[in-house]
Structure 1
Amino acid sequence: MVSSFLLQLDGLEVVDQPVLVIGATSSPSSLDPSLRRFGRFDREVDLGVPDEAGRLDILRIHTRKMHLTKDVSLEDIAKETHGFVGADISQLTLEAALQAIRDSGVEATERSSSGVVVSAAHFQSALKACHPSSLREMVVQVPNVTWETIGGLQHVKMELQELVQFPVEHPEKYEAFGMEPSRGVLFYGPPGCGKTLMAKAVANECQSNFISVKGPELLNAYFGESEANVRMVFERARAAAPCVLFFDELDSIAVMRGQGKDSHGAMDRVINQLLTEIDGVGKRKNVFVIGATNRPDIIDTALMRPGRLDQLIYIPMPDLGSRLAILQAAFKRAALASDIDLPYLAECLDGYTGADITEICQRAAKLAIKQNIGEEVAKRKGDFDGEPVQQILALHLESAVRTSRKSVSEEDLAMYQSFAAKMRKMQEETALGASASPITRFSFKNKGK
């Protein structure tokens, strides 16, 4: 098929009348390379996703015949529709109009829709139902995760605000000061300490699209398919910018080159493709890459060089304050008995990860629910004359703690702490120079003295 098409395409050169052939594709990387050679489809025009100004123009076109209330701000809607193309915006305005028709109680006809008034609430409802088509196959429904939702880790939150949130919310300031924001960050630390939840909170706080990919999902047994999957993920992230692209279990696809178990170098090709894509993100694409791993010691060092995932953030085991914050967040909507002492419980859970503590809280709640149901059934049968339990009691938590176990061993924890100390030392040496010492009394006022 391709050969026949190329033969006909090359034959156009001898035709008396000029013929212009235009092709369209949403995935240029999947085309046969021979189609993109000189003399064929050698001119490529990227019709990308519209920016905020483009989305505003499209919104004005699709709403010019609609009756909008004064609280509708098309500028705000344009800011909230990251990654939307023209068809997505058309669907959004239609959904808002349909929502207005439903609220008005009239039949959804073309005649009735012309007289319906659409409010900001209708657009907000439509935004929840409509998603960018570029993300439709792999969009992640991020829960309402905020910084407050995550217990503890205050220093990590502050560092992430500087690395991710500031460049997204204040790009003009970085441009004014001539600074290029970091392109990526690598979370590492024991499993169950909130790496994935932290990435979701970053996207939520930045009002960015969020794509989450587990490393093994990209691997394919067929030659070249794994690299193609990596390219596809980055293409979708660039189309949905601003976007946070999260790679979970990064160690499954980014092990040090030359140490892969495959005999054909497939893993090395995946790493090379990953490096190429990260280098090609560019500051104007507004895509931030976050990797997460439990094995930072086996990650290819090229991935952590400047301009890539050059910011390494250790997500440690929760300290006393963090454990208490996790308990308070887990029991935020639960009724607790007055004799439950959460600060004391937090002290007793030293060495437990955030996931371990959350599991204990859920297990205690399940025990309370089980007791409540059992007592209600017994009361209906006349075998119980008291009131069914309506709270999580101390005995429920005591039972949950006794049956729990730590998911991170002392040996594993020592390995993480050793790697974190090593990385801190390397960063300090890089900042100061191999044999340099900090200038503790530097001041421009000393010039000429």
Structure 2
Amino acid sequence: MPDDVLLTSLLAAVDAAPDDVPLRLHVAGLLAERGRPAEALQHCSQAIARDPGNADALALLQRLTTAIAPPATPTAPPTPRPEPQRLDGFDWAQAEDEVADIAEPVPAEDDAPSPVVEDIEQPGIRLADVGGMQQVKERLELSFLGPMRNPQLAKAFGKSLSGGLLLYGPPGCGKTFIARAVAGELGASFFSVGISDVLDMYTGQSERNLARIFAEARRRAPCVLFFDELDALGQKRSHLAHSSSMRNTVNQLLAEMDSVAADNDGVFVLGATNHPWDIDSALRRPGRFDRVVLVLPPDAPARAAILRYHLRDRPVAEVNLDRVVKLTEHFSGADLAHVCTTAAERALALSMRDGRLHALTTKDLESAIREIRPSTGPWFATARNVVAFANTDGEYDDLAAYLRKNKRL
């Protein structure tokens, strides 16, 4: 078969299967060999768009761009530098030699790649993987997930799909895990952003980091953009009178969430905080973090699931899980993990002393529970004051109801 006929057939095959990257790269190579680098470059670019990390495509792209690049313009030989003159006995040549090793400052590049966009993942968990917390799941379904899954129904009832969701509650109660499960429910990418990913010591760089984060989330849509410890990043601007850089960062976050210049369609913004009362009020307005879900310490079914998870790979004898669950009321998920670790340490110490394996028992777990106090206590002490004196608009009614039922907290 003549070469031209073969190439024509291959081009037709590419048109029929445009997503076949190996075939497209083969055609690009043949075009390059036949002196048609511009067409080859077009096919190579299409291959990279479909498979950005393809090493063969990147290598071919480098060869093609080198072949297409115009020849370098010959430059005139450098003008010889005049010999430095000695003035009043000073040796200028020696002075220049002494500072020759000092590097010139490198100007900052606004389009420099941001390292924070490398942590986007595809969660494999769903809300069904979250033990217990039925009220939290129902609230998420009603206020966030349901409208996202049914945009036509949401539109018919005037339910806006813009804005974000704020998860708040005591530390260690699974807010990040729930955020990942939300991404799994939506079939979206998950992009977790910490304060260290945003804040920078150089003026204006924090704002640029935020802009790049949102730009990447828009490019990867559908994407759940999760801001952990939101109170540290979006704290009240009235508290930042002496920190103009932090005020500018809050302003940038407000602009990105309610942007006129950019479309956040497909970008679902979630935030988590232990101190929602420290977040700037502008971030709580419609179109931003206008939906709020209280994540409380795990209930009994959730505690049982967490305990099973942390005991699954440890030697366990007789454990009365119902009794342990009853004794750990108001414990956070992190506290329960600490209970299992402490009990395992006791059993390990006994095993090393006796020279034989002692499996974990209910007694070991009970001893660990007596040593550990729930870490949620200080948080609820602060929350009680907020509910008593700063709940004029009913913002924390869910928290107030929980505290009324648990007066010992």
Q: TM-score range by the shorter chain?
A: 0.5 to 0.7
State which of 176, 183, 191 in structure 2 corresponds to 1:196.
176
CA distance in 2, matches of 1:397, 1:323: 14
Gapped runs of 5+ residues in structure 1? 1-56, 67-84, 96-132, 379-383, 430-449
**CA deviation after TM superposition for structure 1 residue 396, in Å:** 3.1
1:86 to 1:203, Cα distance in 2 relative to 1, 3 A: farther
> For residue 9 of structure 2, what is the aligned residue in structure 1?
none
Q: For residue 419 of structure 1, report the CA deviation from its aligned partner.
A: 4.5
Matched, 1:239 2:196: no
CA displacement at 1:298 relative to structure 2: 1.2
1:218: Cα distance to partner? Answer: 1.0
Which has the higher mean CA deviation after the structures are superposed, 293-302 or 417-426?
A: 417-426
Distance of aligned partners of 1:134 and 1:238 in 2 relative to their CA distance in 1, 3 Å threshold: farther
1:61 equivalent among 4, 18, 40:
18
Paired with 1:182 and 1:290, the residues of 2 have a C-alpha distance of 12
Give the direction of change, closer, same or farther, for the CA distance of 1:134–1:202 in structure 2 (3 Å limit): farther
Distance 1:138 1:423 in 2: 40
Contact kept? 2:306, 2:336, Cα under 8 Å: yes
State the aligned residue count: 304
Write the letter of the residue equivalent to 1:292: A
- Counterpart in 2 of 1:408? 376
Match of 2:30 in 1: none
Equivalent of residue 133 in structure 2, options 147, 153, 162: 153
Partner amino acid, structure 2, of 1:305: R
Cα gap change, 1:409 to 1:260, in 2 (>3 Å): same
Residues 217 and 134 of structure 1: CA distance in aligned 2, closer, same or farther (over 3 Å): closer
Quick one: structure 1 residues 149 and 369, their matched pair in 2 at CA, closer, same or farther if it must change by over 3 Å?
A: farther
- In the other structure, the counterpart of 2:339 is 360
- Give 1:230's aligned amino acid: L
Cα pair 1:134 1:236 within 8 Å, conserved = no
Q: Deviations over 1:271-294 (max 9, x none)?
A: 111011000287762111111111
| 8 Å CA contact retained: 2:165, 2:269 | yes
Kindly report which structure 2 residues correspond to 1:34-433, keeping only aligned pairs within 5 A, or say none: 60-63=17-20, 87=48, 89-90=50-51, 137-141=117-121, 144-175=124-155, 179-260=159-240, 263-280=242-259, 285-331=265-311, 336-338=316-318, 340-365=319-344, 367-368=346-347, 378=355, 388-389=357-358, 391-410=359-378, 412-417=379-384, 419=386, 426=394
Cα gap change, 1:289 to 1:333, in 2 (>3 Å): same
CA deviation string 1:36-78 (max 9, x = no partner): xxxxxxxxxxxxxxxxxxxxx9994132887xxxxxxxxxxxx
Residues 239-298 of structure 1 deviation map (CA, whole Å, 9 limit, x = unaligned): 11000000011111211113116x351111111110110002877621111111111111
For residue 150 of structure 1, report the CA deviation from its aligned partner.
2.3
- Encode CA deviations 1:322-365: one digit per residue, 9 max, x unaligned: 43343244445666423x21111111112311210122124434
State the partner residue of 1:117. Answer: none
Alpha-carbon offset, residue 167 of structure 1: 4.1
Kindly state the Cα deviation for residue 374 of structure 1 after the two structures are TM-superposed. 7.6
CA distance in 1, matches of 2:117, 2:15: 24
- 1:155 and 1:309 mapped to 2: Cα distance? 20
Question: Cα deviations across residues 195-224 of structure 1 (Å, max 9, x unaligned)?
Answer: 111111111222110110112431112111
Counterpart amino acid of residue 394 in structure 1: T
Q: Look at both structures and tell me which one has the larger radius of gyration over its CA atoms.
A: 2
Could you tell which deviates more after superposition, 248-257 or 174-183? 174-183
Distance in 2 between the 1:356 and 1:297 partners? 24
Equivalent position amino acid for 2:233 in 1: I
Q: Per the alignment, in what secondary structure is the counterpart of residue 148 of structure 1? A: helix
CA distance in 2, matches of 1:244, 1:201: 10
Give the 3 Å change call, closer, same or farther, for CA 269–283 of structure 1 in structure 2: closer
Deviation at 1:311, TM superposition (A): 0.5
Cα distance between partner residues in 2 of 1:295 and 1:428:
12
Partner of 2:41: none
Q: Which amino acid aligns with 2:184?
A: N
CA distance in 1, matches of 2:15, 2:148: 23
